[in-house]
Structures are given as C-alpha cells and as structure tokens.
Structure 1
Amino acid sequence: MSEDLVKVKTIAVLTSGGDSPGMNAAVRAVVRAAAQSEINVYGVKHGYYGLIHDEFVEMDTHSVSNIIQRGGTILKSARSEEFRTEEGRKKAADNLKKYNIDALVAIGGDGTFTGANLLSKEHGVNAVGVPATIDNDIIGTDETIGYDSALNTALEAIDKIRDTADAHERMFLVEVMGRDTGFIALETSIASGAEIALLPEELTNVEEVKRQLNNMLKEQRRSSLVVVAEGDETGGAIKLAEKIKDDFSQYDMRVCILGHIQRGGAPTARDRVLASRLGAAAVKVLIEGHSEVMVGVVNNSLKLTPMRVAISKKKELDHSLIELAKILR
C-alpha cells in the first residue's frame, strides 16, 4: 500500500473465463460499493476482448438491480487470443486510459488473474481479482464464487439418477466437471453416497475399479453409482465404460455426462453472500491502495493473496475427505 497513490475515482469491472453462478452478485457488489464511495464504474462487456475492442458501458446502482439471483453474467464472457499478445494488452491499457480508469476489478479464475497481472506489470494498471470458478481450484480462499451452486446442481442431478439406478438395478457412470481438479466429484460422491469417485488428483487403476465393482456384486448390490471427474486419467465416463463394460455384462451400465448444466442456474444463498463480500472487498482494497492481489475468504475472514501466487499454485483436495469417501463407499 502506498500513500502516494492517486485517489481512485473511476474503476472498470469485467468477468472473464467460464461463467459461474454468483458472478452477477459480485458485479452488483462492486458497482454498489463503488457508488457508496462516490467512485464511477464502467462495466466491460466480453471480458478482455471487450477491453481491447472498447466495449465499455457506464454503470450505476440501477444497472445492477434485480441481478443478484441470476446465473451467468450480464457483462458476458469471451476468450481473447489477441489479449495474449503484448500489442493486444497495450490496446486494452490504452482504452482504460481513454476512460480515465484508475483501477480494474477482474472477476474469474486463474486465466483471468493472469491477464490482470500482466496489465499491472506491463502498464501499471491497478488490479484486484475476485475468484469466480465452479472448479474451486484457486488458493487464497476457502471457496470460489460458483462452486457451492455447481455442487448443489450436480448433487440434485445425481440424486435423481440414483433413483433410476435403484429402480432398474443399473450401474451409472456420472461425469461431472473438473478437468484439472476433483472438488466437485469428491464432494458430490460423498453427499450422494456414490460407491466410487475417480479424481484427476489420484491415479486411476482400472483393475482396482473392477475389483470394487465385483465386490458390490458379491454383496448383491445390483445398483451402483460411480462419479467421474471429466479430467480423470481414464478419459472420462465414456472411456471408463468402454474399459470395463465387457467385464460387467451382468450390469445394465449407463453413462450420464452432466456437462454445462453445472454452470447455469441461480446461485445459492452461500454463493450470493460470498460474491457480495468479495465484490465489495475488491473496491475497499483498491481504495486502500492495494494492487495485483486477489480477495478471498479464509476461515470467514477476508484475505489478500498476491495474484502471482494465486496463479502459480493449485488448491489441493482435502485428503481427509478422500479417505472419508473411501470409508463410506
């Protein structure tokens, strides 16, 4: 923090990367917290693409009315290959200067923070990150915005699949999101009573999976549920089914991929509160003179993490939960 920093008069806010429930609540909090401090706000449409192509819109408290309960993001999101170049980032920085913007609030995941960090390093843009990703894989916060909502969406779907699995004595392989991390797969497997959970963080032994399923057959458990993270080394639920189906012809085996349903829908109360806290905190820390940091909540207290740290490390799964899942299956 520096006492020499110019007073923050105007900020920009954008959402980038995969959408997650609660992004709108975070945007709302940024705009309204800024208004309380008499700071002007511009929303940037389509993330870093809009930053380059001048998609700035003035926002006030009325702009964010009736959005806290909405999924997705009113500011939209898009990928930008141009922003990966020095020339593209210079265009983005020039547009920020064009609107006399003092600071940027970037809502998203590690890719979003990487972009904001580069703008700070290369062009002196004051930037604060707000973690929003259903994967929950960012360190410096107990949960990311959207994770709780995605978890509950996946669980609701899996509970319904369980009913059908039991009624028809079927085996279901259910694939959930999690290309690099297994937070959704692990917690939904525990909460749904799944027999097996396959995670990117653990090597998958297909023969061990077969052994566990054989044990279920011996116990006369005719229906079963296997939760597979999309990033599991077997290649996901479809590939796993191909590898084991010949050994379990006695099972009526089905594959269900939940896919993008996990991203949509209204955010849970927990995500709305978290997003509101972090959005307001982002404005507060900018006023205090912080930059190149991410705001998070750890043990119910606000925590600042340098962006370079947030993008350089991945949050680890709680190994006690992995052991719990194995005990309860």
Structure 2
Amino acid sequence: MSLFRNAIWFLKGMKEYTKGGYEAAAKKFNPADLDISISNRSFMITGANSGVGRCTALAIARKGGIVHMVCRSKERGEEALKDLQEKSGNMNIHLHLVDLSRPRAIKEFVEKFRNNGTPLNVLINNAGVLMSGDKRTLTEDGLETTFATNTLGVHILTTGLVPVLESSEDPRVIIVTSGGMLVQKLNLSDLQFEKMTKFDGTMAYSQTKRQEVVMTAMYAKQYPKIHFSTCHPGWADTAGVRSSLPDFHAKLKDRLRTEEQGADVMLWLAVSEAATKHPSGLFFQDREPVSTHLPLAWTKSSASEDKKLMDILQEMSEKFYGSSL
C-alpha cells in the first residue's frame, strides 16, 4: 500500500468514520425507519457479547425481537445474555456457543439449528478477529486465524443458513466490514497470508474485509430471495479497538463514535423497511449506500476473480465437512 493511498483512506476516515461524521449524517435520518414492530422476527448476531454486536442485540431485544447470540466464550456469552435480558426485559434471547474459526463447529451448529426447525429472518455476521502483533497464528485445523474467522467462517455460516432464511419472510443477511478494505484489492494468491515477509495483522484483517464485500455481492446474485448488505459501523470506541489497536485508540479516542452510534447502521439494515428498498449486495455507511472503492478504483477485482474466490471457499468448506450444506 502506497503512502498516498493510505493518506486518502485516512483522510476519508477522519471526515466520515468519526463521531462527527455520524452526527452530520444523523441529521438526515428518518426516525420512523426504526419505529417498527419486530416481535415476530428472529435475528442471529455473531459476536453479540461485546461492542457494536452487543449494542445491536440489545436494541433488537428492546424492540421485542427474538435474538440468537452466537459467541465463542461461554463466560462472556453468559454474562452478556443475562445483562441483555435484564436491560431489555426480553427473555426470548438465546445463547449459542460456536467458535467461528472452526469449520466443523459451524457445521454442527448449523445442522442443529436447521434440524430444530428454528426460524430465522435476519443473520448479522458481526464477529471478526484482528490479530495484533506480527506473528501469523493458525487454528487447530491449520488455517490462518484471520481468514478462518472473517472469511471462511462467514461463508460456511451464511451458506449453511440460506435454506432457513429463504423459507422466512423478508430474509436479510448483513456482514459487518471495515473501512480498511478500501485500500485492499482482492488477493487470491495469498488468502492465508503465507507469503508475507512479515505478518501484518491489520493488513490481513483489511484483506478479509475486502473478501467479505466481494462475497456479499456474489451472494446477492446467487440467492435472490435474500437481501444481502455489508456495512461499516465507523470508528467506534469498543473493547476490540482498544485491545487490538491501542495506538489508534489513543490518538483518536476523543473522536471515536460510541458503540450505539456504530451499531446504528447495523440495526437500520436489520429492521427498517427503507433498507430493503435498495438493491441487494450494496455497502452501507450511516444508512446510505456508498462506493466500495476509493476514487482511483485500483482495488476493483474482475468477475472471474470474484467467482474464483467463491469457488475456493466452497471447495474449502466441503473439505472440512465432506459435502455442501
């Protein structure tokens, strides 16, 4: 990434992704968009025990929605479950313990969820990992952790739940991405970051977030019954940011969004009727579809590259659980 490209992205972020950017955008929000009954709708949120995922889960629970929390940590998940139930007064919140970096664990969860006949209207793929430091880490399956969680895990969970979503009314899938993807072009030659001279966790994270944007656009074409979207919550002051990007947090902490401000676009995409008036497969920021590329458009991939990514993900999925879900 050149210094010039990095500067463009940073200046764009300083203007739009901070608290000030949210406050400016919010002046145009229609409050009626969120004034809607969702008591008969079911929502699954990954990474719902902290940050913007937890805020979104709480907002949905307060509106009476059925919430399925998907979390990796039993301790943090149970604490969040109790807190959300107490704050919302909604006991129809359910905790599912799944390690989203483990393909077989996702398969087992999806099969159980489907076999139980549990309905699902909205899937919010919010969970993600950003590895700090310069050490490339592998999962028990020998997969690079960032790719396993942010890309392959999202693919397996989403495609596995497609039959449930397609049988539901007004089905939606939301994938939470990052502004870092704007300075990344899809790189099929090193999906698991084996060729890096020195592992860069932030770069790996941003590359997987570019992959998610490509995946979403492809899902929209493949599954027309479901409304797909990606979104960027902006730069929010979350525990994840504080732990993974301490220098970034220290420099911008007074300008970072609250978790509630970051969660707003996720909630809007999940519940509002206005969201699905836009075509499926778009990228949203502060309730508006925006470009997935910087003006110079050097990050655009070809249709054949996009298809190849999906083929690779499907092949890897089948390798871990024998056949397609």
Identify the TM-score tier after normalising by the shorter chain.
0.3 to 0.5
The TM-score, its normalising length taken from structure 1, stands at 0.36
More strand by share: 1
Structure having the higher Rg: 1
Question: Which structure carries more relative contact order (alpha carbon 8 Å, separation 6+)?
Answer: 1
The TM-score, its normalising length taken from structure 2, stands at 0.37
